[in-house]
Structures are given as C-alpha cells and as structure tokens.
Amino acid sequence: MNIDRYTCAIEGIKAPDSLKKRTAELLKAENSRFVKNASSRGIIKKTVAIAAAVVIVGATTVFAEEIIRRFYCADGSEIQYIESENERSVTFENIHADYVKVINGRVYFVLGDMQIDVTDECGDTSYFRYEIKNADGSRNVIFIGGTVENPGWVELIFDSEGKYVTNRMQIRGEDNWSDWAMYNEGVPCGDPVLDDLNGFLREDQ
C-alpha cells in the first residue's frame, strides 16, 4: 500500500513509528471511503482525509492541518463542515431536499411520513417553526414560510454546544420571511439592517 503522502503529513508528530504508520493507513482508508461515497452521490468535492486527523499520544493532542466535523440534516443526509486556519467550507450530501409541498391549495411541512398543514402560519413575513433536538445535543431548526404560490423553507444547523454551524434553504419569490426567521433565531440572514441589529456587522463582534 502506498501511504507516502499520509506518512509525510504526519512525520512531524512525536509518536512511535508503529503508531504513525497505523495512523497513515487509517487516513488513507477514510479518504478512499469518503471520495467513493461522494462520487456516488454526484458531489464534486475532493477532501484529503489527513484534514480530519486527530492523533492523541499520551496527554498530547496533535491536530492536522484541517478538522472535519459531520452533522446531519433533518432528512438524515450528511453535512461535512471543514475548518482550517484560513478558510471554512461546507459540503451537503443532499442538495435536492424539500420540506414543503402544496396540496389542494394548502402549504404543508413535510418530513418523512409527517405532513403538517402550516398554511395559516405562513406569509410574506410570517413562518412556521419546527425544531429537532438530537441525542448528541445538536439541533435542527426548520422554517416554512411564504405563500401558496411561493412557499419555501430554511434549515439551520446548530452543534452540541448550541453554536450555529450552517444552513440550507429553498426560497421562492421575493418574500423576506426567511430573513426575519433567521434574525429571530439569532443567526446571520444576509440583510444588512437585521444583521447589524444582531451585532454581526459590528467591528467589536
């Protein structure tokens, strides 16, 4: 097995040679698995598995160049959050999700076998809110808003410490309900006025 690329990446770690070799082998195996899975789902994203490596030797924790964290959307699809010193990136397993349907002129929130009529709670500035609390403490918050002609949804992802991670959404029309939903949830929405009110545009934040 050719593991030179991974061996070089961890050669600066102070650890027994056998542990270094095993770590390199595991990283190569993980990288091969991810690239295979990503390709099968049409995700054009190359990730080097060394980025996710955390090697613990005694009381010393050595982090590689990047850290990969995995989260899950309400529909069960995976999100990979990659963070390095200079940048952050997010890869979604399922980019074609949809939590809203219009049936007989009514707007429904749809998740698995569940369908909830949310028509009366939706509008240009109003929305329906649904929260999922996961076993690890992370949360998914879904908003459904808009009109029967232009319904849409937003999903926010929070980690186990309650920190906002990322979002995905499908917005139709020019409605601004999604900005208000995200503003009220305390996360950046892209509207300069609302984001400034939440402190996201201030230099001291």
If asked whether residues 191 and 109 sit together in one domain, one would say: yes
Contact 194, 200 (CB under 8 A): no
10 shares a domain with 70 = yes
Domain annotation covers residue 108: yes
- Final residue of a domain: which of 44, 67, 92? 92
pLDDT, one tens digit per residue, over 149-188 is 999 999 999 999 999 999 999 988 777 899 999 999 999 9
Considering the domain boundaries, does residue 204 fall inside one?
no
Residues 84 and 104 in one domain: no
Of 92, 108, 126, which marks where a domain is finished?
A: 92
Round to whole Å and give the CA distance between 6 and 2: 9
- Whether 202 is in a domain gets the answer no
**Distance in angstroms (rounded) separating the CA atoms of residues 48 and 184:** 37
Q: Are residues 80 and 144 in the same domain?
A: no
Average pLDDT over residues 57-70: 54
* Residue pLDDT, tens place only, 3-33: 444 444 444 444 455 544 555 555 455 444 4
Task: State pTM to two decimals.
Answer: 0.64
Same domain, residue pair 51 and 115? no
Residues 68, 138 within the same domain: no
Query: Is residue 205 in a domain?
Result: no
Q: Are residues 77 and 15 in the same domain?
A: yes
Pairwise CA distance, residues 127 & 65, whole Å: 41
For the chain, strand residue ranges (E) read 54-57, 60-63, 66-72, 78-84, 88-92, 100-103, 106-111, 114-117, 127-133, 139-146, 151-158, 164-170
Tokens of 84: 């390095």
Whole-number pLDDT of residue 70: 86
User: Which of 70-74, 90-94, 118-122, 192-196: highest mean pLDDT?
Assistant: 118-122
Residue 91: predicted pLDDT: 80
Q: Which residue has the higher pLDDT, 202 or 171?
A: 171
Structural domains in the chain (count): 2
- Domain with 8, as residue range(s), is 4-92
CA distances to 46, 107, 118, 144, 154 from 97, rounded to whole Å, are: 22, 16, 18, 13, 11
Q: How many CA atoms lie within 13 A of 38 on its CB side?
A: 17
Q: Which residues contact 117 (CB under 8 A, 6 or more apart)?
A: 106, 107, 108
CA distance 29 to 6: 11
Check if the beta carbon of residue 146 is closer than 8 Å to that of residue 169: no
Q: What is the distance between the alpha carbons of residues 146 and 204, in angstroms, rounded to a whole number?
A: 34
- Average pLDDT, integer, range 38-67: 38
For 131-154, the pLDDT digits (tens) are: 999 999 999 999 999 999 999 999
- Residue ending a domain, among 41, 59, 92, is 92
Mean per-residue pLDDT of the chain: 74
> Could you tell me if 21 and 87 lie in one domain?
yes
